[in-house]
Protein backbone atom coordinates (compact mmCIF):
# COMPACT_ATOMS: atom_id res chain seq x y z
CA UNK A 1 0.00 0.00 0.00
CA UNK A 2 2.79 2.39 0.91
CA UNK A 3 4.59 1.43 -2.28
CA UNK A 4 1.52 2.00 -4.40
CA UNK A 5 0.97 5.39 -2.80
CA UNK A 6 4.57 6.50 -3.20
CA UNK A 7 4.64 5.68 -6.88
CA UNK A 8 1.12 6.93 -7.53
CA UNK A 9 2.41 10.38 -6.67
CA UNK A 10 4.53 12.18 -9.17
CA UNK A 11 8.02 10.99 -10.04
CA UNK A 12 10.10 13.57 -11.87
CA UNK A 13 13.44 13.61 -13.63
CA UNK A 14 15.70 15.91 -11.61
CA UNK A 15 19.09 15.91 -13.30
CA UNK A 16 21.85 13.95 -14.94
CA UNK A 17 25.14 13.99 -13.05
CA UNK A 18 28.61 13.50 -14.55
CA UNK A 19 30.75 14.29 -11.51
CA UNK A 20 30.46 14.01 -7.75
CA UNK A 21 30.19 17.80 -7.49
CA UNK A 22 26.95 17.65 -9.45
CA UNK A 23 25.10 15.37 -7.01
CA UNK A 24 21.98 16.92 -5.49
CA UNK A 25 22.05 17.74 -1.77
CA UNK A 26 22.05 14.58 0.36
CA UNK A 27 18.84 15.66 2.08
CA UNK A 28 16.93 12.37 1.81
CA UNK A 29 17.70 8.71 1.29
CA UNK A 30 18.19 7.25 -2.16
CA UNK A 31 18.21 3.91 -3.94
CA UNK A 32 20.10 3.19 -7.13
CA UNK A 33 19.59 0.84 -10.05
CA UNK A 34 22.50 -0.83 -11.79
CA UNK A 35 22.78 -3.43 -14.52
CA UNK A 36 24.39 -4.31 -17.82
CA UNK A 37 23.19 -2.48 -20.88
CA UNK A 38 20.00 -4.02 -22.19
CA UNK A 39 19.14 -5.77 -18.92
CA UNK A 40 15.78 -3.99 -18.87
CA UNK A 41 16.63 -1.15 -16.48
CA UNK A 42 14.71 1.59 -18.29
CA UNK A 43 11.71 -0.70 -18.67
CA UNK A 44 11.81 -1.50 -14.96
CA UNK A 45 12.04 2.13 -13.89
CA UNK A 46 9.21 3.02 -16.24
CA UNK A 47 7.09 0.16 -14.86
CA UNK A 48 7.83 1.16 -11.26
CA UNK A 49 6.87 4.75 -11.89
CA UNK A 50 3.94 4.02 -14.22
CA UNK A 51 5.59 6.04 -16.96
CA UNK A 52 6.20 5.15 -20.54
CA UNK A 53 9.24 7.28 -21.10
CA UNK A 54 10.63 8.48 -17.81
CA UNK A 55 13.83 6.50 -18.05
CA UNK A 56 14.24 6.88 -21.78
CA UNK A 57 16.39 9.98 -21.49
CA UNK A 58 19.01 7.94 -19.71
CA UNK A 59 19.16 5.54 -22.63
CA UNK A 60 19.89 8.11 -25.32
CA UNK A 61 23.50 8.46 -26.47
CA UNK A 62 25.29 11.15 -24.51
CA UNK A 63 23.07 10.54 -21.50
CA UNK A 64 24.32 7.01 -21.01
CA UNK A 65 27.31 7.98 -18.90
CA UNK A 66 25.29 10.13 -16.53
CA UNK A 67 23.91 9.25 -13.15
CA UNK A 68 20.26 10.19 -13.54
CA UNK A 69 18.30 11.40 -10.53
CA UNK A 70 14.53 11.14 -10.18
CA UNK A 71 12.50 12.54 -7.29
CA UNK A 72 9.53 10.88 -5.63
CA UNK A 73 7.11 12.83 -3.46
CA UNK A 74 8.14 12.42 0.13
CA UNK A 75 10.22 9.35 -0.72
CA UNK A 76 13.77 8.53 -1.75
CA UNK A 77 15.62 9.69 -4.82
CA UNK A 78 15.63 7.03 -7.52
CA UNK A 79 19.07 6.93 -9.08
CA UNK A 80 19.58 5.37 -12.49
CA UNK A 81 23.24 4.39 -12.93
CA UNK A 82 24.70 4.02 -16.42
CA UNK A 83 24.47 0.53 -17.88
CA UNK A 84 27.76 -1.36 -17.78
CA UNK A 85 29.34 -4.08 -19.89
CA UNK A 86 28.86 -2.18 -23.10
CA UNK A 87 31.55 -3.70 -25.28
CA UNK A 88 31.76 -0.85 -27.80
CA UNK A 89 32.46 1.88 -25.25
CA UNK A 90 35.94 3.41 -25.59
CA UNK A 91 38.40 2.57 -22.78
CA UNK A 92 38.65 6.20 -21.65
CA UNK A 93 34.86 6.42 -21.28
CA UNK A 94 34.74 3.16 -19.33
CA UNK A 95 37.54 4.34 -17.02
CA UNK A 96 35.83 7.65 -16.33
CA UNK A 97 32.56 5.94 -15.58
CA UNK A 98 34.22 3.41 -13.28
CA UNK A 99 35.88 6.21 -11.33
CA UNK A 100 32.60 8.08 -10.95
CA UNK A 101 30.78 4.90 -9.95
CA UNK A 102 33.41 4.15 -7.33
CA UNK A 103 33.25 7.64 -5.85
CA UNK A 104 29.47 7.57 -5.89
CA UNK A 105 29.10 4.18 -4.21
CA UNK A 106 31.70 4.83 -1.53
CA UNK A 107 30.88 8.50 -0.98
CA UNK A 108 27.12 8.75 -0.87
CA UNK A 109 26.08 8.31 2.75
CA UNK A 110 22.36 8.54 1.96
CA UNK A 111 22.45 5.60 -0.47
CA UNK A 112 20.35 2.95 1.29
CA UNK A 113 20.29 0.17 -1.24
CA UNK A 114 21.49 -0.69 -4.71
CA UNK A 115 19.22 -2.79 -6.88
CA UNK A 116 21.36 -4.80 -9.25
CA UNK A 117 19.38 -5.99 -12.24
CA UNK A 118 20.21 -9.39 -13.65
CA UNK A 119 18.65 -10.80 -16.80
CA UNK A 120 16.81 -13.96 -15.73
CA UNK A 121 17.97 -15.73 -18.88
CA UNK A 122 21.65 -15.14 -18.12
CA UNK A 123 22.14 -15.12 -14.37
CA UNK A 124 25.20 -13.46 -12.79
CA UNK A 125 28.10 -13.01 -15.21
CA UNK A 126 31.69 -11.91 -14.54
CA UNK A 127 30.88 -8.31 -15.45
CA UNK A 128 28.06 -8.28 -12.85
CA UNK A 129 30.31 -9.84 -10.26
CA UNK A 130 32.74 -6.90 -10.58
CA UNK A 131 29.98 -4.50 -9.59
CA UNK A 132 28.89 -6.75 -6.73
CA UNK A 133 32.46 -6.76 -5.43
CA UNK A 134 32.60 -2.99 -5.68
CA UNK A 135 29.36 -2.82 -3.67
CA UNK A 136 30.87 -5.12 -1.02
CA UNK A 137 33.93 -2.89 -0.74
CA UNK A 138 31.75 0.22 -0.56
CA UNK A 139 29.54 -1.43 2.10
CA UNK A 140 26.40 -0.70 0.10
CA UNK A 141 23.66 -3.27 0.67
CA UNK A 142 22.51 -4.56 -2.67
CA UNK A 143 19.54 -6.61 -3.76
CA UNK A 144 19.36 -8.55 -6.99
CA UNK A 145 16.36 -7.95 -9.22
CA UNK A 146 15.84 -10.60 -11.87
CA UNK A 147 14.42 -9.06 -15.02
CA UNK A 148 12.45 -10.43 -17.98
CA UNK A 149 11.21 -13.56 -16.17
CA UNK A 150 8.37 -13.79 -18.65
CA UNK A 151 10.98 -15.04 -21.12
CA UNK A 152 11.78 -18.23 -19.18
CA UNK A 153 9.95 -21.29 -17.92
CA UNK A 154 9.20 -22.04 -14.26
CA UNK A 155 11.91 -24.70 -14.26
CA UNK A 156 14.47 -22.23 -15.63
CA UNK A 157 13.32 -19.71 -13.07
CA UNK A 158 14.07 -22.11 -10.21
CA UNK A 159 17.47 -22.80 -11.71
CA UNK A 160 18.53 -19.18 -12.11
CA UNK A 161 17.29 -18.28 -8.62
CA UNK A 162 19.45 -21.07 -7.20
CA UNK A 163 22.46 -19.94 -9.28
CA UNK A 164 22.09 -16.34 -8.14
CA UNK A 165 21.57 -17.23 -4.49
CA UNK A 166 24.67 -19.40 -4.64
CA UNK A 167 26.72 -16.61 -6.20
CA UNK A 168 25.51 -14.14 -3.54
CA UNK A 169 26.97 -16.19 -0.72
CA UNK A 170 30.40 -14.80 -1.34
CA UNK A 171 29.14 -11.22 -1.24
CA UNK A 172 28.83 -9.82 2.28
CA UNK A 173 26.80 -6.80 1.09
CA UNK A 174 24.15 -8.95 -0.58
CA UNK A 175 20.58 -8.85 0.69
CA UNK A 176 19.58 -12.51 0.61
CA UNK A 177 16.14 -12.17 -1.03
CA UNK A 178 15.82 -11.63 -4.77
CA UNK A 179 13.02 -9.75 -6.47
CA UNK A 180 11.72 -11.57 -9.52
CA UNK A 181 10.26 -9.21 -12.10
CA UNK A 182 8.81 -8.80 -15.53
CA UNK A 183 8.24 -5.22 -16.64
CA UNK A 184 6.31 -6.64 -19.55
CA UNK A 185 3.81 -8.56 -17.41
CA UNK A 186 4.02 -6.40 -14.29
CA UNK A 187 5.23 -9.26 -12.14
CA UNK A 188 7.16 -8.24 -9.01
CA UNK A 189 6.72 -4.51 -9.64
CA UNK A 190 4.44 -3.96 -6.65
CA UNK A 191 6.84 -5.95 -4.47
CA UNK A 192 9.73 -3.74 -5.52
CA UNK A 193 7.68 -0.58 -4.92
CA UNK A 194 6.90 -1.75 -1.40
CA UNK A 195 10.56 -2.55 -0.70
CA UNK A 196 11.57 0.94 -1.83
CA UNK A 197 8.76 2.66 0.04
CA UNK A 198 9.59 0.95 3.31
CA UNK A 199 13.32 1.67 3.29
CA UNK A 200 14.06 4.42 5.76
P1 LIG B 1 18.23 -1.08 -20.54
O2 LIG B 1 19.28 -0.91 -21.59
O3 LIG B 1 18.74 -1.86 -19.38
O4 LIG B 1 17.57 0.21 -20.11
O5 LIG B 1 17.10 -2.02 -21.18
P6 LIG B 1 15.65 -1.68 -21.77
O7 LIG B 1 14.68 -1.38 -20.69
O8 LIG B 1 15.81 -0.67 -22.85
O9 LIG B 1 15.26 -3.12 -22.37
C10 LIG B 1 16.06 -3.78 -23.30
C11 LIG B 1 15.17 -4.68 -24.14
O12 LIG B 1 14.57 -5.69 -23.33
C13 LIG B 1 14.03 -3.96 -24.80
O14 LIG B 1 13.83 -4.51 -26.08
C15 LIG B 1 12.84 -4.24 -23.90
O16 LIG B 1 11.61 -4.20 -24.57
C17 LIG B 1 13.16 -5.63 -23.41
N18 LIG B 1 12.59 -5.87 -22.07
C19 LIG B 1 12.78 -5.13 -20.97
N20 LIG B 1 12.10 -5.65 -19.93
C21 LIG B 1 11.46 -6.73 -20.37
C22 LIG B 1 10.58 -7.69 -19.77
O23 LIG B 1 10.25 -7.67 -18.57
N24 LIG B 1 10.14 -8.71 -20.56
C25 LIG B 1 10.48 -8.81 -21.87
N26 LIG B 1 10.00 -9.84 -22.57
N27 LIG B 1 11.29 -7.92 -22.48
C28 LIG B 1 11.76 -6.89 -21.75
The ipTM is: 0.99
CA distance 19 to 104: 9
Cα(84) to centroid of ligand 1, in Å?
15
Q: 10 Å Cβ neighbour count for 162?
A: 11
Q: Is the CB of 53 under 6 A from ligand 1?
A: no
CA distance 75 to 141: 18
Q: Is the pLDDT of residue 6 over 90?
A: no
For position 64, what pLDDT does the model report?
A: 62
pLDDT in tens, 56-73: 655 555 556 789 999 999
For position 62, what pLDDT does the model report?
A: 52
Q: Give the chain's domain count.
A: 1
CA quadruple 193, 176, 44, 99: dihedral sign? positive
For position 169, what pLDDT does the model report?
A: 96
Q: Is the CB of 98 under 6 A from ligand 1?
A: no
Cα(116) to centroid of ligand 1, in Å?
15
**Global confidence as pTM:** 0.94
Q: Is the CB of 193 under 6 A from ligand 1?
A: no
CATH number for the domain that contains residue 39: 3.40.50.300
User: Do 173 and 149 form a contact (C-beta atoms < 8 A)?
Assistant: no
Q: Is the CB of 16 under 6 A from ligand 1?
A: no
Q: Is the pLDDT of residue 89 over 70?
A: yes
Q: Could you tell me the residue range of the domain that residue 154 belongs to?
A: 2-198
User: Do 46 and 59 form a contact (C-beta atoms < 8 A)?
Assistant: no
Q: Quick one: average pLDDT of 155-178?
A: 97
* DSSP string covering 127-180: HHHHHHHHHHHHT--EEEEEE-GGGS-HHHHHHHHHHHHHHHTT-TTB-S--EE
For position 111, what pLDDT does the model report?
A: 98
For position 63, what pLDDT does the model report?
A: 56
Of 11, 16, 85, 24, which Cα lies nearest the Cα of 53?
Answer: 11
For position 59, what pLDDT does the model report?
A: 58
User: Do 181 and 190 form a contact (C-beta atoms < 8 A)?
Assistant: no
pLDDT in tens, 106-150: 999 999 999 999 999 999 999 999 999 999 999 999 999 999 999
Backbone angles phi, psi at 34, to 5 degrees: -130, 155
User: Do 110 and 26 form a contact (C-beta atoms < 8 A)?
Assistant: yes
Amino acid sequence: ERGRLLFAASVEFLKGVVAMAGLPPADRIEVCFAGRSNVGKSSLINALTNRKNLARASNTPGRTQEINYFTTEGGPYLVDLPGYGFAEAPVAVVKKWQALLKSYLSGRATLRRAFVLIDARHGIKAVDDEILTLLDRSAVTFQVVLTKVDKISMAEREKVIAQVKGALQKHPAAYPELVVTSSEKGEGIETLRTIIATLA
